[in-house]
Structure 1
Amino acid sequence: MNRTEALDIVKASIAHVIPDADVTTLGPHDTFRDALDMDSLEFLHYVETLSERTGIRIDDEDTPQLTTLSGSADFLVAHARSDTQ
């Protein structure tokens, strides 16, 4: 998975959880909770959706990395590579 594919998955996952969210306005380091008013249940649903769409296991200790577009994409790319090696 490359970074562009990862970003597409992240944006699609956010749109799945918060259908009216305008992900096009998100900066790479904007936190979802602040920029999208994402609450903790929506964030958990987002994490579950990411895991389901990618097949990547996401543990509780991984979630702090998933709060921004950039962090989420970096996590997915790194773990997709390690899962295939």
Structure 2
Amino acid sequence: MTDPTAPATPAEEAARALVVDVLAGIAPGPELDGLRPGDDLRETLGLDSLDFRNLVVGVSGRTGRRIEEDDYERLTDLAGWVRLLTTG
């Protein structure tokens, strides 16, 4: 487990920026600017299942990484997305 107080690596910053950029096309608004790593994306941004699916498709398309349904339960917050995108 990573130290939550440690500075983000360049890869983690890039992953976060990518996810936030995709989210900006799905759920733009002031909530996105204040999004913290552990905030529940569905609650904080008001995402429904179609929005979440669009997030999955958008991130997958931009990264070339296949995101399986089994991964969805780990992708409830920004920290989960960053972990998925920065680990093997």
What interval of TM-score do these two structures reach, taking the shorter chain for normalisation? 0.7 to 0.9
Distance 1:57 1:21, change over 3 A: farther
The DSSP-based 3-state class of the residue aligned with 1:26 is coil
The count of corresponding residues between Structure 1 and Structure 2 is 79
Q: CA deviation at 1:21?
A: 5.6
Higher share of residues assigned helix: 1
CA RMSD, Structure 1 to Structure 2 (Å): 1.4
1:32 paired residue number: 41
2:55 aligns with: 46
Alpha-carbon distance change, 4 to 25 in structure 1, aligned in 2, over 3 angstroms = same
Quick check: 1:21–1:36 contact (8 Å CA) kept in 2?
no
Q: Percent identity?
A: 33
Distance 1:14 1:21, change over 3 A: farther
Any gaps of 5 or more consecutive residues in structure 1?
none
Whose relative contact order is higher, 1 or 2, with alpha carbons under 8 Å and at least 6 apart?
1
